[in-house]
Amino acid sequence: MERQLRGEAARADYLMDLSNVVRDRELGGNAPRSLERLRLVLAALREWTGDAEATVHAIADDNLLDPRSASEFPCPGELALLRDWWGRGLIASIAKADPDLLDHAKVLGTRVISRDYFRGHRGEHPWIQGDREHFLEPLRRADGSVRLTLRDMKVFADRVISQEGEHDDLKARNLLDFRGRPRSEVLERSWRCPRTPCNPSPAILAGKVVCRVHGTLLADLGKRRPRLQLKIMVDGVCRAWENLTEDDGREFVLGRGHLARIEESHLSDDRRVRISRHHLVIVSRRGTLKVLDASTARSRIRTLRPGREPAPWQPLPHVDEGPEGAARERLFRGFGPDDEIELVPGVVLRRSGQRWPGERGDGVRAKPPRRVRGNDELTSTD
State mean pLDDT over 155-180: 83
Which residue, among 347, 332, 349, has the nearest Cα to 242 in the 3D structure? 349
Fold for 2-150, please state it.
Answer: Rossmann fold (3.40.50)
| Lowest-confidence region among 248-262, 278-292, 362-376 | 362-376
CA-CA distances (angstroms) from residue 193 to 184, 210, 222, 281, 364?
19, 8, 14, 32, 20
- Classify the C-alpha dihedral 361-381-161-358 as positive or negative: positive
Q: What is the pLDDT of residues 200-255, one digit of tens each?
A: 889 998 889 998 888 899 999 888 877 888 889 998 888 888 888 776 567 888 99
Give the pLDDT score at 363.
39
Instruction: Give strand pairing partners of 228.
Output: 244
For the ranges 45-49, 82-86, 168-172, the lowest mean pLDDT is seen at 168-172
Of the CATH numbers 3.30.499.10, 3.60.110.10, 1.10.3210.10, 2.60.200.20, which one belongs to the domain with range 227-375?
2.60.200.20
Question: 213 to each of 21, 188, 190, 193, how far by Cα in Å?
Answer: 31, 20, 16, 10
Residue 368 has pLDDT above 90, yes or no: no
Per residue in 315-326, pLDDT (tens digit) is 999 988 866 656
**Count of H-run helices and E-run strands, the chain:** 7, 20
Percent of the chain with pLDDT over 70: 91
H or E element: which one contains 330?
none
Q: How confident is the model at residue 372 (pLDDT cuts 50, 70, 90)?
A: very low
The H or E element that residue 78 is part of is helix 76-87
Work out the average pLDDT over 118-133. Answer: 89
Average pLDDT, the chain: 86
CA–CA distance from 68 to each of 72, 207, 257 (Å)?
9, 19, 50
Q: Where are the domains of the chain?
A: 2-150, 158-223, 227-375
Q: How far apart are CA 173 and CA 211, in angstroms?
A: 10
pLDDT in tens, 93-110: 998 899 999 999 999 999
Over residues 117-142, the mean pLDDT reads 92
Q: How confident is the model at residue 342 (pLDDT cuts 50, 70, 90)?
A: very high
DSSP string, 225-255: PPEEEEEEEETTEEEEEEEEE--TT-EEEE-
Question: At residue 299, what is the residue type?
Answer: S
Q: Residue 313: what pLDDT? A: 95
Q: Give per-residue pLDDT as tens, 272-284.
A: 999 999 999 998 8
Order across the sheet with 288-293: list the strands: 251-254, 280-285, 288-293, 333-334
Query: Cα-Cα-Cα-Cα dihedral of 204, 209, 210, 216, to 10°?
Result: -140
